[in-house]
């Protein structure tokens, strides 16, 4: 990494420069290609490292690890999108051709839903897209707030062959997913009732709605009609991606939820750290559902302008329903493991109370670390009522250095965590989450992906994830170290530790640099 760019990542997705935000369309695997190509579209400002001039940048990959940046697929050009081509999604129509529905903003930031289709479906890279002459397809009428009407999902087809799509909104202070139906993907009718709404949230951005299998690891296509599924509804609000589970019957588009958004003591989130405006897609080649999420910077806007870029994508995660059926489990896609290189490992090591030791032999600033602990006798642990305690607040009050009998022994941390706090003007929020354990569990595990200025952690085999940004002042690159610590008074036992240095992903750009308009 160039010395002047210590915070650029080595294996996370980021454009060559400028501003990036949420995934606009889900990436998809082109079914008409000889070799499958993953397409990723994301919100991008081609001119600066701040939000504005939003267009749909386009990158392609064969494995979701190495990327080629192409020219943006959709740019503002018409009255209904002149202020930005915002979030949307791709859907495969009959015959397998993709179509995109996206939100356009006009001069007053009023929002409209528009359609684009590939100019040439036989181009495997789908470089050029054309806006439908019928745009805008949906306008904010009949009580819809024109400034809160955006982010259409991937559409799905019911047994009646009618398409459904939901759009994020807020009406009378209630966050909701407006539901529309269409026979031809062009003329859409609003359903009398939203698919779901909440009095406890504000505007829902980037909703997502999809089936997950019960008792199977396989992902499910949004339009598939399978019996043993639950439906996930995700909405982005309060700077987090929250989800609920329920049963969906397409006949009357009824969605009966198991628990609701912001229910007491149960706030299910994809990630309890920095992770927003995410989107899933079904990868038919590997029969899995994959999640992409946007990770913002924690430094200031002037820092972003100085470094010339802002925003990362988290490593794509596969999504499954947990064996309990009560939550999702998320895990980095297996393809990432091809970047693993130098490896250190050991088993069964006692970590005495108050001790710390260094794990050496890997590059700590660019690493994949898996550790599991024997679950200690919990009779001696302090007990907490999850219904009345907010884990993030608890972790903010009691930092890792506060000693108790058992722990905190949360494993390890990169030196960059500490040193990052030397810099001024950063958002240094502490995150925290509960990990739900099963009475059969005899271990507790943590995997972390460390990549210069980002750390993604997966607790309990993906039952609770936390993503954070770090901007080390001193502990950059080779100066970063990895430590295991136990700040409790009792010993804990590391059942196994595996850590790898990570290679850089191969990123090529076929994109022109642009000057301001």
**Cβ neighbours of residue 307 closer than 8 Å, sequence gap 6 or more:** 5, 7, 8, 49
Binding letters toward ligand DQQ, positions 187-226, x by CB under 6 A: ------------------xx--------------------
Please identify, using beta-carbon distances, which residue of 55 and 445 lies nearer to ligand DQQ: 55
Residue 109 Cβ vs ligand DQQ, minimum distance, rounded to whole Å: 10
Site for ligand DQQ in 168-187 (CB under 6 A): none
Please identify, using beta-carbon distances, which residue of 46 and 460 lies nearer to ligand DQQ: 46
What are the tokens at 293?
């999420």
Asked if 245 is part of the footprint of ligand DQQ (rule: CB under 6 A), the reply reads no
* Angstrom distance (rounded) from CA 44 to CA 22: 9
Tell me the CB-side half-sphere exposure of residue 51, using CA atoms within 13 A: 8
Asked if 371 is part of the footprint of ligand DQQ (rule: CB under 6 A), the reply reads no
* Angstrom distance (rounded) from CA 234 to CA 208: 5
Please identify, using beta-carbon distances, which residue of 239 and 300 lies nearer to ligand DQQ: 239
Residue 204 Cβ vs ligand DQQ, minimum distance, rounded to whole Å: 9
Asked if 413 is part of the footprint of ligand DQQ (rule: CB under 6 A), the reply reads no
3-class state of residue 94 by DSSP: helix
- Determine which residue in the list 9, 14, 18, 21 makes contact with ligand DQQ, applying CB under 6 A: 21
- Determine which residue in the list 277, 339, 359, 364 makes contact with ligand DQQ, applying CB under 6 A: 277
How much is the CA Rg of the chain, to the nearest whole Å?
Answer: 23
Tell me the CB-side half-sphere exposure of residue 176, using CA atoms within 13 A: 19
Residue 194 Cβ vs ligand DQQ, minimum distance, rounded to whole Å: 17
Residue 261 Cβ vs ligand DQQ, minimum distance, rounded to whole Å: 17
Residue 168 Cβ vs ligand DQQ, minimum distance, rounded to whole Å: 7
Asked if 270 is part of the footprint of ligand DQQ (rule: CB under 6 A), the reply reads no
- The residues facing 311 across adjacent strands are none
Residue 151 Cβ vs ligand DQQ, minimum distance, rounded to whole Å: 5
Alpha-carbon distances of 292 from 42, 418, 492, rounded to whole Å: 10, 28, 35
- Determine which residue in the list 106, 151, 304, 461 makes contact with ligand DQQ, applying CB under 6 A: 151
Residue 79 in contact with residue 112, Cβ under 8 Å? Answer: no
Residue 334 Cβ vs ligand DQQ, minimum distance, rounded to whole Å: 28
- Determine which residue in the list 11, 86, 156, 409 makes contact with ligand DQQ, applying CB under 6 A: 86
Long-range contacts of 32-36 (CB under 8 A, 24+ apart): 32/96, 32/97, 32/121, 32/122, 32/124, 33/124, 34/124, 35/62, 35/124, 36/62, 36/285
Residue 51 Cβ vs ligand DQQ, minimum distance, rounded to whole Å: 7
Alpha-carbon distances of 265 from 203, 388, 471, rounded to whole Å: 22, 7, 32
Site for ligand DQQ in 119-138 (CB under 6 A): none
Residue 514 Cβ vs ligand DQQ, minimum distance, rounded to whole Å: 18
Return the closest-CA partner of residue 362 out of 497, 475, 500, 477. Answer: 500
**Cβ neighbours of residue 405 closer than 8 Å, sequence gap 6 or more:** 380, 381, 382, 488, 489, 490
Locate the DSSP E strands across 375-472: 411-414, 443-451, 454-459, 464-469
Tell me the CB-side half-sphere exposure of residue 323, using CA atoms within 13 A: 7
Please identify, using beta-carbon distances, which residue of 14 and 21 lies nearer to ligand DQQ: 21
- Residue 108's CB is within 10 A of a number of other CB atoms, namely 9
- Determine which residue in the list 45, 53, 83, 87 makes contact with ligand DQQ, applying CB under 6 A: 87
Asked if 15 is part of the footprint of ligand DQQ (rule: CB under 6 A), the reply reads no
Please identify, using beta-carbon distances, which residue of 205 and 283 lies nearer to ligand DQQ: 205
Asked if 104 is part of the footprint of ligand DQQ (rule: CB under 6 A), the reply reads no
- The residues facing 310 across adjacent strands are 19
Please identify, using beta-carbon distances, which residue of 106 and 461 lies nearer to ligand DQQ: 106
Q: Which residue is nearest to ligand DQQ (CB)?
A: 86
Asked if 54 is part of the footprint of ligand DQQ (rule: CB under 6 A), the reply reads yes
What are the tokens at 406?
């058992």
Residue 132 Cβ vs ligand DQQ, minimum distance, rounded to whole Å: 19
Please identify, using beta-carbon distances, which residue of 48 and 381 lies nearer to ligand DQQ: 48
Residue 355 Cβ vs ligand DQQ, minimum distance, rounded to whole Å: 43
3-class state of residue 64 by DSSP: coil
Residue 151 in contact with residue 86, Cβ under 8 Å? Answer: yes
Please identify, using beta-carbon distances, which residue of 206 and 507 lies nearer to ligand DQQ: 206
Asked if 44 is part of the footprint of ligand DQQ (rule: CB under 6 A), the reply reads no
Long-range contacts of 400-405 (CB under 8 A, 24+ apart): 400/485, 400/487, 401/487, 402/487, 403/354, 403/487, 403/488, 403/489, 404/488, 404/489, 405/380, 405/381, 405/488, 405/489, 405/490
Asked if 45 is part of the footprint of ligand DQQ (rule: CB under 6 A), the reply reads no
Give the count of residues interacting with ligand DQQ (CB under 6 A): 12
Alpha helices in 335-436 (DSSP H): 391-397, 415-420
Residue 404 Cβ vs ligand DQQ, minimum distance, rounded to whole Å: 39
- Determine which residue in the list 12, 69, 150, 463 makes contact with ligand DQQ, applying CB under 6 A: 150
- Determine which residue in the list 6, 13, 20, 22 makes contact with ligand DQQ, applying CB under 6 A: 22
Give the interface with ligand DQQ as residue ranges (CB under 6 A). 21-22, 43, 54, 86-87, 103, 150-151, 205-206, 277
């Amino acid at each position: 990494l160039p010395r002047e760019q210590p915070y650029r990542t080595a294996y996370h997705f980021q454009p060559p420069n400028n501003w990036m935000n949420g995934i606009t369309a889900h990436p998809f695997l082109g079914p008409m290609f000889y070799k499958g190509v993953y397409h990723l579209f994301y919100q991008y400002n081609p001119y600066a490292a701040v939000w504005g001039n939003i267009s749909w940048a386009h990158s392609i990959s064969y494995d979701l690890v190495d990327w080629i940046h192409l020219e943006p697929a959709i740019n503002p050009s018409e009255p209904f999108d002149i202020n930005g081509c915002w979030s949307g999604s791709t859907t495969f129509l009959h015959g397998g051709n993709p179509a995109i529905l996206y939100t356009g903003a006009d001069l007053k930031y009023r929002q409209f839903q528009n359609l684009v289709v590939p100019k040439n479906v036989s181009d495997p890279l789908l470089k050029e897209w054309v806006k439908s002459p019928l745009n805008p397809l949906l306008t904010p009428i009949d009580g819809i707030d024109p400034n809160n009407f955006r982010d259409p999902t991937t559409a799905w087809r019911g047994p009646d062959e009618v398409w459904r799509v939901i759009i994020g909104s807020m009406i009378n202070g209630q966050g909701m997913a407006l539901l529309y139906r269409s026979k031809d993907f062009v003329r859409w009718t609003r359903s009398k009732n939203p698919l779901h709404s909440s009095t406890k949230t504000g505007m829902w951005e980037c909703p997502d709605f999809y089936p997950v299998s019960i008792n199977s690891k396989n992902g499910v296509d949004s339009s598939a009609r399978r019996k043993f599924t639950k439906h996930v509804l995700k909405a982005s609000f309060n700077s987090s991606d929250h989800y609920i589970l329920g049963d969906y019957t397409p006949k009357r588009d009824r969605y009966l939820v198991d628990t609701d958004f912001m229910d007491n003591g149960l706030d299910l989130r994809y990630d309890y750290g920095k992770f927003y405006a995410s989107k899933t897609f079904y990868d038919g080649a590997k029969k899995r559902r994959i999640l992409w999420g946007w990770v913002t910077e924690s430094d200031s806007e002037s820092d972003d302008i100085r470094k010339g870029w802002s925003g990362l994508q988290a490593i794509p995660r596969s999504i499954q329903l947990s064996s309990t059926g009560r939550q999702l489990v998320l895990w980095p896609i297996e393809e990432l493991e091809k970047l693993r290189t130098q490896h250190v490992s050991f088993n069964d090591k006692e970590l005495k109370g108050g001790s710390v030791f260094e794990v050496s032999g890997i590059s700590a600033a660019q690493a994949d670390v898996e550790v599991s602990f024997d679950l200690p006798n919990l009779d001696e642990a302090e007990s907490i009522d999850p219904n009345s305690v907010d884990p993030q607040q608890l972790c903010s009050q009691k930092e890792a250095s506060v000693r108790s009998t058992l722990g905190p022994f949360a494993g390890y941390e990169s030196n960059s965590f500490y040193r990052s706090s030397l810099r001024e003007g950063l958002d240094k929020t502490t995150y925290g989450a509960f990990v739900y354990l099963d009475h059969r569990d005899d271990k507790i595990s943590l995997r972390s992906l460390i990549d210069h200025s980002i750390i993604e952690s997966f607790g309990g085999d993906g039952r609770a994830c936390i993503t954070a940004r770090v901007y080390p002042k001193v502990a950059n690159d080779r100066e970063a170290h990895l430590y295991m610590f136990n700040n409790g008074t009792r010993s804990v036992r590391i059942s196994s530790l595996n850590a790898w240095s990570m290679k850089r992903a191969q990123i090529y750009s076929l994109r022109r640099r642009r000057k301001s308009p």
